[in-house]
């Protein structure tokens, strides 16, 4: 099994590319499916919705492990979220600090193929879900027909930009300060297995998402947010029933919120990773994952 440092210092790894594509494909498809169920059943219970979201993340990772075990006979690292990749790439510089054969920034090479494969997986998941949606609405499942595809894509709340930015900053900060750090726990000293790390991460993620549900949730995955923005833009532009001024306002808010989330995600992931990197350097530790 390839460890994260080997993955991140490569400009391409077929196994990692496939697993990141697959995990994000499943994530996007199931997230859209969950939104469809929530809208069609008018589910408002925060505990139930939060459980749905965490279960989707869990299934995305577990299913990828299962297929990787069958196809490649390994349990690969599944980053899934861009924050995890960026954070790990910077922190992994610790292991290259005194290397005579590698440059300090070699751990950033993997970003060039991991992030694009995550994005392609998410976009493919959206496209396949739309095809699935078209097929299912033509079936006898009439309770699904009441949910227009626009209702699945669009949020019903109108959050102020400052409120949105502050909320995203807080919860992305909490996520980045906790979830990526769990994988840095020494497996030998802790006795934790790969599945143990996943379960602990899912418990923490549930707490974060549940707390954020009281504030209309937050941008969990910036690439997922980008896909929502792309598809929302497309369906807004082809909507003949909406007022042009309404469409213009919706597009402005959609892309403004995405850009805010993108900046917050990158800044927090990079800054926290650099802080952790400096802590490891000062303590003369190595990253064990």
pLDDT (average), residues 31-52: 93
Sketch out the chain's domains with CATH numbers: 4-283 (1.20.1080.10)
3-class DSSP state of 183: coil
**If pLDDT is split at 50, 70 and 90, which confidence band does 104 have?**
low
Alpha carbon of 12 to those of 68, 77, 105, 156: distances in Å?
17, 15, 16, 41
- pLDDT score at 2: 44
* Rounded CA separation 222/217 (Å): 13
* Rounded CA separation 259/253 (Å): 10
**Span 230-264, pLDDT tens digits:** 998 888 888 777 677 777 888 888 899 999 999 99
pLDDT, mean over the chain? 86
Other Cβ atoms less than 10 A from the Cβ of 180: the count is 24
Burial class (CB in 10 A: 0-12, 13-18, 19+), 278: exposed
- pLDDT score at 143: 58
* Rounded CA separation 45/52 (Å): 11
**Span 112-167, pLDDT tens digits:** 999 999 999 999 999 999 999 988 888 765 556 566 777 777 665 577 899 999 99
- pLDDT score at 159: 79
- pLDDT score at 150: 75
Of the candidates 97, 86, 85, the residue with the CA atom closest to the CA atom of residue 16: 85
- Spatial neighbors of 147 by CB under 8 A, at least 6 apart, are 36, 39, 40
> pLDDT at residue 194 above 70?
yes
- H-helix or E-strand spanning residue 14: helix 14-41
């Amino acid at each position: 099994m390839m460890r994260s440092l080997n993955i991140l210092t490569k400009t391409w790894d077929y196994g990692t590319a496939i697993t990141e594509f697959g995990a994000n494909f499943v994530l996007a498809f199931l997230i859209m499916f969950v939104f469809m169920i929530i809208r069609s059943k008018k589910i408002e219970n925060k505990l139930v919705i939060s459980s749905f979201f965490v279960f989707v993340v869990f299934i995305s990772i577990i299913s990828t492990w299962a297929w990787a075990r069958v196809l490649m006979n390994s349990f690969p690292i599944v980053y899934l979220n861009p924050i995890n990749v960026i954070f790990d790439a910077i922190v992994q510089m610790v292991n290259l600090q005194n290397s005579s054969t590698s440059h300090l920034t070699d751990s950033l090479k993997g970003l060039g193929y991991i992030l694009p494969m995550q994005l392609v997986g998410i976009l493919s998941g959206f496209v396949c879900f739309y095809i699935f949606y078209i097929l299912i609405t033509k079936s006898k499942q009439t309770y699904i027909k009441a949910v227009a595809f626009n209702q699945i894509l669009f949020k019903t709340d109108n959050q102020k930009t400052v409120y949105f930015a502050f909320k995203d900053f807080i919860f992305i900060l909490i996520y980045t300060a906790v979830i990526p750090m769990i994988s840095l726990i020494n497996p030998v000293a802790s006795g934790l297995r790969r599945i143990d790390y996943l379960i602990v991460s899912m418990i923490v993620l549930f707490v974060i998402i549940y707390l954020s549900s009281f504030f209309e949730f937050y941008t969990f995955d910036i690439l997922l947010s980008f896909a929502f923005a792309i598809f929302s833009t497309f369906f807004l532009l082809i909507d003949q029933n909406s007022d042009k001024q309404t469409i213009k306002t919706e597009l402005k808010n959609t892309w403004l919120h995405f850009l805010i989330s993108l900046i917050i995600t990158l800044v927090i992931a990079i800054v926290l990773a650099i802080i952790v990197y400096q802590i490891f350097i000062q303590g003369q530790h190595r990253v064990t994952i």
